[in-house]
Amino acid sequence: MSRLIVVSNRVAPIKGKTSAGGLAVAVLSALRESGGIWFGWSGEVVQTAAVEPTVVKVGRITYALADLTSDDHNEYYNGFANRTLWPLFHYRLDLTAFDRRCFDGYLRVNDRLARQLVPLVGEDDLIWVHDYHLIPFGEALARHGCRAPVGFFLHIPFPASEVLVALPYHQELLRTLFAYDLVGFQTDGDLRAFHDYVEREVGGSVDPDGTVRAFGRTTRAGTFPIGIDTDDFAALPAKAEVQRQIKRLKSSMGDRQLVIGVDRLDYTKGLVERLQAFEQMLETYPAMRGAVSLLQIAPPTRGEVPEYADIRRALEAVAGHINGRFAEFDWVPIRYLNKSFSRRALAGLFRGSRVGMVTPLRDGMNLVAKEYVAAQDPDDPGVLVLSQFSGAARQLDAALIVNPYDSVGVAESLHLALTMPIEERIERWAALMEGLRRDDVAAWRNTYLDALRRYSAAA
């Protein structure tokens, strides 16, 4: 079996348990199986970046870590990746910064990282590059003489071309995607948007077999929806420490029901709209006052990007407003926690909650939706309320699908979820779980890597 090289902006912690999220779980098990390298940013910002990455070998996995200078960090990471591509690809043109200097920094860092990786690449290796930070990485590899097969997977949405073309250098960026042997997207909608861009904006063409031609180059593109390690997640609530925590949660709630939301504190996750829909539910259904609380966990991320401080303030204000309006001396409607929990603790909180609210305004997939379902008690499962704008909604159609902008509609669905008879809850949950077991993270990884091997052998 050829050796795998995974490239992502951040590398999972080398030491400690694999309590990491979806990407890390998928990648680690593949690397353990075939042996290989995980290459990415060390997380360190230094004055002068070393020419070679730091290499640490643990079992069959070699971690290769590169540092960034503070200019790199500002222009590549905080700048073009998180202030341009992230908001733009999530349809937030109003929050998108257009700064050529940051784009140049992004290209420069991609080039340098690729140059650092090339000496580590062997003849039979297979390279898998992840996400929006690293779109030009494949082209940079080729520039530095790498001939190994290289695939790319985009974890976030691919936007409609009307949105994408607002980026002044969209062609310069998008042509680099054609250096890959395979470009993977989360959903058919993302793939369609990519095809549409190719055909209508740059006069390219798409063959029925998935071959895409543009800029005088050829690549393949397909849909590979990411999954979770379903059985592993489903086993977490049975652990003794998680059982203890579920008990504690239940005794804090008494007879009341809990609705849970878990999201990085990000403006794409629809947190303010979610709280407003919860408020709407309390307004429309007064019997719910005192009977249900929303536990919102929102660990802060990307604190150096100003838009993230804004969303934090907005969320605090709306949570405060709702609690001020409805709270009683023995009940608060919103429990808002601005910190992170262990994976196990999250599984316990999911298990203890009657409803999981996953209502992003845009999301490539959303793994929390899948984790919430996997953590449920098969005999008494909770209900998932899921945004139509998440990639997950394409697969999890037995959830209650909502439009997160429609607070009245979300409030109705939430009420329906809270009052749903047990037979219907079990039926919906079983249908969701069947899909999650079939399309798990191993299936995602294997389908993608098989396709990459096939296409690169045919090229």
In the complex, least distance from residue 189 CB atom to ligand GDG, rounded to whole angstroms: 13
Annotated catalytic, 330?
no
The verdict on 21 binding ligand GDG (CB under 6 A) reads yes
Closer to ligand GDG at the Cβ: 5 or 26? 26
> Contact, 221 vs 183, CB < 8 A?
yes
Is 344 in contact with 242 (CB distance < 8 Å)?
A: yes
Q: Which is nearer to ligand GDG, 16 or 254 (CB)?
A: 16
What sign does the dihedral 312-313-318-323 (CA atoms) show? positive
Catalytic position from the list 73, 90, 133, 155: 155
Least distance CB 358 / ligand GDG (angstroms): 8
The per-residue DSSP string of 150-191 comes to EEEE--SPPPPHHHHTTSTTHHHHHGGGGGSSEEEESSHHHH
Q: How far is the CB of 445 from ligand GDG (least distance, A)?
A: 12
Stretch that binds ligand GDG, among 20-28, 39-47, 163-171, 405-413 (CB under 6 A): 20-28
Looking only at residues 360 through 399 of this chain, which bind ligand GDG when binding is defined by CB under 6 A?
A: 363-368, 371
The reply to whether 294 sits near ligand GDG by the rule CB under 6 A is no
Query: Among 364, 373, 347, 348, which residue's Cα sits nearest to residue 430?
Result: 373
Residue 155 is a catalytic residue: yes
CB neighbours of residue 169 within 10 Å = 15
Look at residues 108, 96, 116, 107 and name the one whose alpha carbon lies nearest to residue 135: 107
452 binds ligand GDG (CB under 6 A): no
Active-site residue, from 363, 415, 439, 440: 363
Q: Shortest Cβ distance from residue 130 to ligand GDG (Å)?
A: 9
Return the residues of window 224-283 that contact ligand GDG according to CB under 6 A.
Answer: 226, 262, 264
Q: How far is the CB of 199 from ligand GDG (least distance, A)?
A: 26
**CA–CA gap between residue 70 and residue 47 (Å, rounded):** 7
Give the count of residues interacting with ligand GDG (CB under 6 A): 23
When asked if residue 156 is in the footprint of ligand GDG (CB under 6 A), the reply is: yes
Q: Which residue has the tokens 């063959």?
A: 207
Within positions 190 to 229, which residues make up the interface with ligand GDG, using CB under 6 A?
226
- Whether the CB-CB separation of 198 and 165 falls below 8 Å is answered with no
Distance CA 163, CA 147 (A): 34
Q: Are 160 and 192 in contact (CB under 8 A)?
A: no
Instruction: Give the separation between CA 328 and CA 239, rounded to whole angstroms.
Output: 35
Question: How far apart are the C-alpha atoms of 347 and 57, rounded to whole Å?
Answer: 31
Give residues 325-344 in contact with ligand GDG (rule: CB under 6 A).
340-343
CB of 275 to ligand GDG, least distance (A): 17
The sign of the torsion formed by the CA atoms of 115, 124, 220, 7 equals negative
DSSP 392-413: GGGT-TTSEEE-TT-HHHHHHH
Smaller CB separation from ligand GDG, 110 or 359: 359
Whose Cβ is closer to ligand GDG: residue 107's or residue 365's?
Answer: 365
Among 15-23, 106-114, 191-199, 433-441, the segment contacting ligand GDG (CB under 6 A): 15-23
403 binds ligand GDG, rule: CB under 6 A: no
Strands, DSSP E only, in 182-251? 182-185, 205-206, 211-214, 217-223
- Shortest Å, Cβ 351 to ligand GDG: 14
| Amino acid at residue number 160 | A
Q: Which residues bind ligand GDG (CB under 6 A)?
A: 19, 21-23, 155-156, 226, 262, 264, 297, 299, 340-343, 346, 363-368, 371
Residues marked active site are found at 155, 363
